[in-house]
């Protein structure tokens, strides 16, 4: 045990010598490569963070643009709906007005037709009444003026009335 606790000076020398060479090689060749890799990794991470921040900013801009476009589309849709509603109301009102005018024309036409038919019916009734009156007068006169003597008296009386009516 004493040999483990106290190494020999030759062993200690070689151990220190090999440790120094290892440290020298690591410092000369290993650490620069490791530091270069660490620096490269650090730069990559920083670039990635910058790209992520830039992408986040662009995404925020795109999101704002999208929201603005969506709001504009909604306003445009509301305007279109309002305009369509106004056009619909105008068309309905126009159709009602046209229907009202057409109904008034039809009513006026029906009234004119009824009036014309009424006048025609009254003329027809008057004509029939005149024909019936003439037929009745003819029958009465034939009954009263059956003889030539009565006819001569009637003709004489009519001439007398005509002479009396002349001024």
pLDDT of residue 1 exceeding 60: no
Enclosing H/E stretch for 164: helix 148-165
Given phi > 0 = left and psi -120 to 50 = alpha, else beta, which region is 8? beta
d(CA 15, CA 19): 6
Record the pTM: 0.41
Least confident of 30-44, 48-62, 129-143: 129-143
More confident residue, 156 or 44: 44
HSE, side-chain direction, 13 A CA sphere, residue 167 = 0
Average pLDDT over residues 2-13: 78
How far from the centroid of its chain's Cα atoms is residue 11's Cα?
100
pLDDT of residue 166 exceeding 90: no
Write down the pLDDT at residue 167. Answer: 60
pLDDT of residue 145 exceeding 90: no
Burial readout 5-14 (b: 16 or more C-beta within 10 A, e: otherwise): eeeeeeeeee
pLDDT of residue 163 exceeding 90: no
pLDDT of residue 151 exceeding 80: no
DSSP calls for 32-46: HHHHHHHHHHHHHHH
């Amino acid at each position: 045990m004493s040999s483990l606790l106290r190494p020999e000076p030759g062993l200690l020398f070689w151990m220190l010598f090999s440790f120094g060479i290892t440290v020298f090689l690591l410092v000369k060749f290993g650490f620069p490569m490791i530091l270069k890799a660490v620096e490269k990794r650090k730069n990559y991470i920083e670039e990635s963070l910058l790209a992520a921040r830039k992408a986040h900013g662009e995404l925020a801009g795109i999101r704002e643009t999208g929201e603005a476009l969506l709001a504009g589309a909604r306003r445009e849709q509301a305007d279109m709906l309002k305009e369509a509603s106004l056009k619909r109301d105008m068309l309905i009102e126009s159709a009602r007005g046209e229907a009202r005018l057409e109904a008034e024309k039809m009513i006026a036409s029906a009234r004119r037709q009824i009036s014309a038919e009424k006048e025609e019916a009254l003329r027809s009734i008057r004509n029939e009444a005149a024909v019936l009156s003439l037929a009745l007068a003819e029958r009465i006169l034939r009954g009263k003026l059956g003889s030539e003597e009565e006819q001569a008296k009637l003709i004489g009386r009519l001439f007398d009335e005509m002479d009396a009516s002349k001024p």
